[in-house]
Chains A and B, each alone.
Chain A
Amino acid sequence: MPVLCSSCSEKRAVLKRPKTGHSLCKACFFWAFEEEVHQTIVAAKLFRSGETVGIAASGGKDSTVLAHVMKLLNERHGYGLELMLISVDEGITGYRDDSLETVKRNQQQYELPLKIVSYEELYGWTMDAIVKQVGLKNNCTFCGVFRRQALDRGAIMLKVDKICTGHNADDVAETVLMNILRGDIARLRRCTAISTASEGDGVVPRCKPLKYAYEKEIVLYAYFKKLDYFSTECIYSPNAYRGYARTFLKDLESIRPSSIMDIIHSGENLSVREGVKMPVQGTCSRCGYISSQALCKSCVLLEGLNRGLPKLGIGKHHRLHGKILSQQPLTEHEQRKLKSVDF
């Protein structure tokens, strides 16, 4: 007995939406998905007509759907945006080189200009080389920090006004959970924001148009629309902390699908008690990027890599930043603490 679409009541339903519980046919699902992203963009006033927007593209499911939907909505609703693709090559053999091929295909399919920035040219280090030095436990810290800055650099090279990323509802909910588990109140307050403020040189404001789109719907949208995307787990990520939050979130979703939206909602409505000490935004004394410390995380991590002290930047060694900046030598005890790496 086929279930009929709850929206048009004519065609056979093909999916049950986790967000609403409604059963929709293909056409109604496409429409609902696309128009909800449109509503997200309009309600949060993410873009202004005439802006150049860089779509952070990795060749994965989220960024492929993002590129497709942004192009579609830009045309359907006349946003007046100039769209481009920005891709980051972290230098992960067997993973990133394959997904970049997908981005190049996307570029042709969507007829958008593409810029690829690589860790090699920006930092002199590929992820392959970093993992050799750092091991498999904290490597994701390096990649995430470097990628954030790499996207900004790519955006500046392309002269875009804004960046948009394919972060979906599941990602945001996982981040909320991670920040609660780590007790990171500063990040917890910021992580549900749909767009970042545009302060600081070298920083391009960025937003998440897919913030309220469930990962399940993104995958089904891509599947039914036969969109071309690359789907493999990064080979260096098996120990990433996010994996635990993801497993937990998936279990929650299977019991109560609205959990994902509920967690985001809770994250958005958190308020911090007065008097709680928060980091103050400044600039890095070395490269000028935004930073809440004397040295930005990127510079600290890079310094650690270049001096063979892989643990610099992992854990809290802020007192050592001053020493590093002034090129003072570190004591043997300090060196030993920073050298030890667990594999």
Chain B
Amino acid sequence: MAAPVAVHLEFGGGAELLFDGVKEHHVTLPSQSEPWDMKQLLVWIQRNLLKERPELFVQGDTVRPGILVLINDADWELMGELDYQLLDQDNIVFISTLHGG
């Protein structure tokens, strides 16, 4: 049984509007037998944090194309994307690029 995992989530670039405008969220993921991975985190976020328009945040299993994900300040493409296993106190940032410049 893995211990509960505390993660710090940040939403930026307009993505925060889907979460009542709140940019920072400290969440504790409940303990479960398997380690938490990003794929499960996305499902959890959709169920517990997302306030509206899920299609603007997730597409299928992953984030909508145009939303950048940083894990501990590094591109999630370098960390295994959806397969990355979360560690306690990880910092995950979701930045939307889908707006005017």
* Contacts from A to B (Cβ < 8 Å): 2-3, 12-16, 23, 58, 60-63, 166, 168, 171, 215-216, 218-220, 223-224, 231-234, 237, 246-247, 250-251, 253-254
Task: Tell me if A16 and B95 are in contact (CB < 8 A).
Answer: no
A218–B99 CA distance with the chains assembled, in angstroms: 13
Task: Tell me if B95 and A14 are in contact (CB < 8 A).
Answer: no
Does B97 reach chain A (CB closer than 8 Å)?
A: yes
Task: Tell me if B100 and A60 are in contact (CB < 8 A).
Answer: yes
Task: Tell me if B99 and A254 are in contact (CB < 8 A).
Answer: no
Task: Tell me if B97 and A219 are in contact (CB < 8 A).
Answer: yes
Task: Tell me if A232 and B14 are in contact (CB < 8 A).
Answer: yes
A220–B78 CA distance with the chains assembled, in angstroms: 14
Residues of B within 8 A of A233 (CB): 14, 98-100
Out of A12, A216, A237, name the residue touching B68 (CB < 8 Å): A216
Residues of B within 8 A of A216 (CB): 68, 97
Task: Tell me if A61 and B75 are in contact (CB < 8 A).
Answer: no
Residues of A within 8 A of B98 (CB): 233, 246, 250
Does B77 reach chain A (CB closer than 8 Å)?
A: yes
Q: Report the minimum CB–CB distance from B20 to chain A (whole Å).
A: 15
Cβ-closest chain A residue relative to B77:
A16
Task: Tell me if B95 and A223 are in contact (CB < 8 A).
Answer: yes
Does B4 reach chain A (CB closer than 8 Å)?
A: no
A220–B73 CA distance with the chains assembled, in angstroms: 10
Does B30 reach chain A (CB closer than 8 Å)?
A: no
Task: Tell me if A251 and B12 are in contact (CB < 8 A).
Answer: no
Q: Report the minimum CB–CB distance from B95 to chain A (whole Å).
A: 6
Task: Tell me if A219 and B75 are in contact (CB < 8 A).
Answer: no
Closest 5 CB pairs of A and B: A62-B101, A250-B65, A15-B75, A60-B101, A16-B77
Residues of A within 8 A of B101 (CB): 58, 60-63, 166, 168, 171, 215, 218
Does B13 reach chain A (CB closer than 8 Å)?
A: yes
Task: Tell me if A219 and B68 are in contact (CB < 8 A).
Answer: yes
Residues of A within 8 A of B66 (CB): 246, 250
Q: A215-B97, A220-B68 are in contact. List 16 more A-B contacts (CB 8 A).
A: A2-B74, A3-B78, A13-B74, A14-B70, A14-B75, A15-B78, A16-B75, A60-B100, A216-B68, A220-B75, A223-B70, A231-B12, A233-B98, A246-B66, A246-B98, A250-B98
A240–B101 CA distance with the chains assembled, in angstroms: 15
Out of B74, B77, B95, B97, name the residue touching A12 (CB < 8 Å): B74
Out of A23, A58, A218, A253, name the residue touching B100 (CB < 8 Å): A58
* Contacts from B to A (Cβ < 8 Å): 12-14, 17, 64-66, 68, 70, 73-75, 77-78, 93, 95-101
Residues of B within 8 A of A250 (CB): 64-66, 98
Out of B13, B17, B65, B99, name the residue touching A251 (CB < 8 Å): B65
Out of A13, A168, A223, A234, name the residue touching B78 (CB < 8 Å): A13
Known: A231-B96, A233-B14. A23 touches B65 (CB 8 A): no
Residues of A within 8 A of B75 (CB): 13-16, 220
A219–B13 CA distance with the chains assembled, in angstroms: 9
A15–B78 CA distance with the chains assembled, in angstroms: 7
Known: A60-B101, A216-B68, A250-B65. A231 touches B13 (CB 8 A): yes
Cβ-closest chain B residue relative to A60:
B101
A311–B97 CA distance with the chains assembled, in angstroms: 33
Residues of B within 8 A of A3 (CB): 78
The 12 listed contacts between A and B (C-beta, < 8 Å) are A3-B78, A14-B73, A14-B78, A16-B78, A58-B101, A166-B101, A171-B101, A216-B68, A232-B99, A246-B66, A247-B65, A250-B64
Residues of A within 8 A of B64 (CB): 250
Residues of B within 8 A of A234 (CB): 99-100
Q: Report the minimum CB–CB distance from A34 to chain B (whole Å).
A: 18
A219–B65 CA distance with the chains assembled, in angstroms: 14
Q: Report the minimum CB–CB distance from B52 to chain A (whole Å).
A: 14
Q: Report the minimum CB–CB distance from A141 to chain B (whole Å).
A: 16
Task: Tell me if A231 and B78 are in contact (CB < 8 A).
Answer: no
Cβ-closest chain B residue relative to A25:
B74
